[in-house]
C-alpha cells in the first residue's frame, strides 16, 4: 500500500475564507453604534482580523504537515491543555462569573477552546492504537475516561455548553472507530435519567437559563430578556433584512452579546432570511466537504480526527443558531469564525487545517 500526498482542498479552503471574511462584516455591523467613536468600533474588528490572519497561517502550517507524525505528541498536548484548565480553576481570575481565560500580555487565551482539538487528537490516537479491541466494553470505558478530565474541568469553570459539546464528539469518534453502539445508547439514556441529580450541580444562572428555555416569558426582563430580543431581531429582518448597519435592535442596544454568542441575531435582522440562509449554506458546504473527507479516508487515525472536527463544527453551528431562535437553551456557544473571540477563531482554523491535512493523505 503506497502513500500519495495530495494537494490542498481549495474548495474547502475558499469556503472557510468566505465565512471568515463575511464574519468581519458581520462583526463590524454588530459593534456599530451611531455616535460611537470609530476607534472603539474598529478596535474589535482589527483584533479579530489579527486573529484570523494568525489563524490562517497556522491553518496552512497544519494543512501541510503529516498528522501521522504528530500523533506521538497528542497525549502530551492534551495533558498540557488539561494543566491549563486546572490552573484556571486554582489560580485564574474570574471574569463574567467564570474562570475561562488566561491573560497573556495584551490578549487572553481560552484553553477550553483548544482542549476540543487536543482531546480529539488524543482520543483518535488512543482508539487507533487499540483498534484490535474495538467494540469491547473496556475500550468504551477507557475512551470515556480519556474525555472525562476535560469535561469535568470545563464544567467546573463553569462552562456547561463547551463541556456538553465534548459528548457528541466522543460518541461520533467512537462510532466511526467501530465501537459498540449499544454502549453509547445505554450511556445516553443513563445521562438523561441522571438529569434530576445533575440539576443540583448547576449554578443558579444555568438553572434560570434552562427554565427560561421552557418559558422565555417567565422572566422577560431577566434571564429571558436576551432570547426574547434575539427572536424579535431575527423576526424583524423578514425575507431580505433591514440592510447592513440598519438593525434597530442592534444599534439601539436592545440585544445583549450581539458581537459574540448572539451575532446571528444581528445577521438575521440586517440580512434577513436570505442572508442567514446563505451563511448556513456556507457552513453546510464546509461540513459536507468534511463528511466527504471522512468517507474517502482509509486511515483509522485520520478518519477519527476528521470525524471529531466535523462533529465539533456541526454542533457549534447547530447549537449557536438554535439558541438564538429559541430552539435550544442559551449555553454560551460561539458561531465559528463569526462570533468575536480569538481563541475560538484559532481553534476553528486549526481544526480546518487538520481536515485539509487528512484530505491530502490518500492510500491505494
Please give the average per-residue pLDDT across 321-345, as a whole number: 89
Domain map of the chain by residue range? 3-363
Please give the average per-residue pLDDT across 8-18, as a whole number: 92
Rounded distance between C-alpha atoms, residue 78 and residue 252, angstroms = 43
Closest among 239, 314, 244, 322 to 278, alpha carbons compared: 239
Check pLDDT > 60 for residue 37: no
pLDDT of the residue at 313? 96
Look at the alpha carbons of 136, 145, 316, 358 in this order and tell me if their dihedral is positive or negative. Answer: negative
Between 44 and 209, where is the model more confident?
A: 44
**28, 41 contact by CB (below 8 A):** yes
Between 76 and 4, where is the model more confident?
A: 76
pLDDT of the residue at 364? 36
Check pLDDT > 50 for residue 102: yes
Stretch among 21-30, 313-322, 326-335 having the lowest mean pLDDT: 326-335
Closest among 10, 4, 154, 35 to 84, alpha carbons compared: 154
Closest among 11, 2, 8, 6 to 286, alpha carbons compared: 11
pLDDT of the residue at 44? 84
Residue 322's DSSP bridge partners are none
Place of cell 482508539: 127
pLDDT of the residue at 36? 61
Give percent above pLDDT 90 in the chain.
49
Rounded distance between C-alpha atoms, residue 286 and residue 44, angstroms = 26
Q: 33 vs 38, 160, 234, CA distance in Å? A: 9, 31, 19
Amino acid at each position: 500500500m503506497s502513500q500519495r500526498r495530495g494537494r490542498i482542498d481549495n474548495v474547502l479552503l475558499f469556503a472557510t475564507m468566505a465565512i471568515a471574511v463575511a464574519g468581519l462584516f458581520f462583526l463590524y455591523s454588530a459593534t456599530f453604534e451611531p455616535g460611537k467613536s470609530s476607534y472603539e468600533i474598529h478596535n474589535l474588528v482589527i483584533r479579530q482580523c489579527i486573529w484570523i490572519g494568525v489563524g490562517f497561517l497556522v491553518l496552512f502550517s497544519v494543512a501541510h504537515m503529516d498528522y501521522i507524525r504528530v500523533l506521538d505528541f497528542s497525549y502530551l498536548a492534551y495533558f498540557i491543555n488539561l494543566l491549563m484548565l486546572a490552573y484556571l480553576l486554582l489560580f485564574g481570575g474570574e471574569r463574567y462569573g467564570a474562570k475561562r481565560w488566561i491573560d497573556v500580555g495584551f490578549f487572553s487565551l481560552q484553553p477550553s477552546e483548544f482542549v476540543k482539538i487536543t482531546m480529539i487528537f488524543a482520543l483518535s490516537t488512543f482508539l487507533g492504537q487499540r483498534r484490535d479491541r474495538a467494540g469491547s466494553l473496556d475500550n468504551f470505558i477507557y475512551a470515556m475516561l480519556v474525555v472525562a478530565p476535560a469535561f469535568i474541568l470545563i464544567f467546573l469553570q463553569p462552562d456547561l455548553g463547551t463541556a456538553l459539546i465534548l459528548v457528541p464528539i466522543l460518541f461520533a469518534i467512537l462510532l466511526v472507530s467501530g465501537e459498540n453502539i449499544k454502549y453509547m445508547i445505554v450511556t445516553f439514556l443513563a445521562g438523561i435519567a441522571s438529569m434530576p441529580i445533575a440539576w443540583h450541580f448547576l449554578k443558579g444562572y444555568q438553572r434560570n437559563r434552562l427554565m427560561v428555555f421552557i418559558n422565555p416569558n417567565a422572566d422577560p426582563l431577566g434571564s429571558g430578556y436576551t432570547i426574547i430580543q434575539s427572536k424579535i431581531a431575527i423576526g424583524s429582518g423578514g425575507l431580505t433584512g433591514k440592510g447592513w448597519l440598519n438593525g434597530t435592535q442592534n444599534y439601539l442596544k436592545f440585544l445583549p452579546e450581539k458581537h459574540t454568542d448572539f451575532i446571528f441575531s444581528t445577521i438575521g435582522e440586517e440580512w434577513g432570511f436570505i442572508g442567514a440562509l446563505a451563511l448556513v449554506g456556507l457552513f453546510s458546504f464546509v461540513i459536507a466537504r468534511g463528511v466527504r473527507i471522512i468517507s474517502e479516508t482509509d486511515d483509522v487515525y485520520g478518519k477519527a480526527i476528521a470525524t471529531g472536527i466535523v462533529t465539533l463544527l456541526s454542533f457549534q453551528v447547530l447549537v449557536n443558531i438554535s439558541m438564538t431562535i429559541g430552539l435550544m437553551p442559551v449555553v454560551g456557544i460561539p458561531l465559528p469564525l463569526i462570533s468575536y473571540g480569538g481563541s475560538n477563531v484559532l481553534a476553528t482554523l486549526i481544526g480546518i487545517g487538520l481536515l485539509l491535512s487528512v484530505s491530502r493523505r490518500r492510500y491505494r
